[in-house]
Structure 1
């Protein structure tokens, strides 16, 4: 019994260690301001000399400015990540402002490296995500001003303004570089194209439907 408990304890430690390694590395100093001039390729960015760090490395102005939502989807994201605030390097967090035109949508997408927590500042949004296989459960909710919703890491999700006026949301993401994969653009707009035969069979549609979608992206 003692050997079994020891073995289970070892397994638990191994699992915890693997999870910690899978996450973004934590900073081992007060901060690691990104050095954009560095030429070294690494997971993240090299640190600026702490003696050269300024308050501007930790600040960003402009989140109060509405984004231009005149595109076909009717939304605009203003990103505040490591690129905009070098001081976010190694801190595992970023921020976005999302502006929505009336009935504008943020189309189906995922963030491969981040959990997203969204707060509605103005307007009403329909939001939702789909769980992984085999369940593929669609979890959706209508949010109003002040409501908060969480999108788990890696799951396909969306937002839609369901009002006749503009809507605004602020979202935090658990990565300094969360990434975004827009499903339609990725599948039908890849360079070079994914084989039409493959897509037609995968989506169980005629090839002409695939050609039409690829032409749009």
Structure 2
């Protein structure tokens, strides 16, 4: 294939990957952030100690993290069909991407929150701040650099997951690599796809590191 034939395919695949990863990241943060907060707040010595519930949440998170993504995609096909009406295509992949990334991101949030000094929380409690106020105005702002770093790592992981989704017709750069680079032995397409993925990952990682450093200095 010539570059004139490859370029439109790359452009379309990149757009589909951006849509998959962008939506999945949004839903992952919306679901994973409160889950990570709950893992810390419900723990012994947390803002609202509920050890039994924390244990249940911990098991759910660990199970979600232990499943290989390709297995997860197949296992939740009924859920995917229920949510989006189909199990193939760009939008369908958003469901397993989100389900797979939420436990991963929740653990990163938990780790970042645990790094916040206990004296800061105790000072807020001494001033009469409620639990939600402490979470919103103390824990999350103090842990923000780590959370941003966690989002960056999660986005990079989602890009890898989205490429894997091409094996079941998920669209995006992974689908392009499978259909053209592997099945049709179009080596230039495979090389171009790998280069684009590397560039995207490097840009996202650099941007995430920059934002995290800026926030950390503040």
TM-score (norm 1): 0.22
Decide which structure has greater strand share. 1
Bigger relative contact order, structure 1 or 2 (CA pairs below 8 A, ≥6 apart)? 2
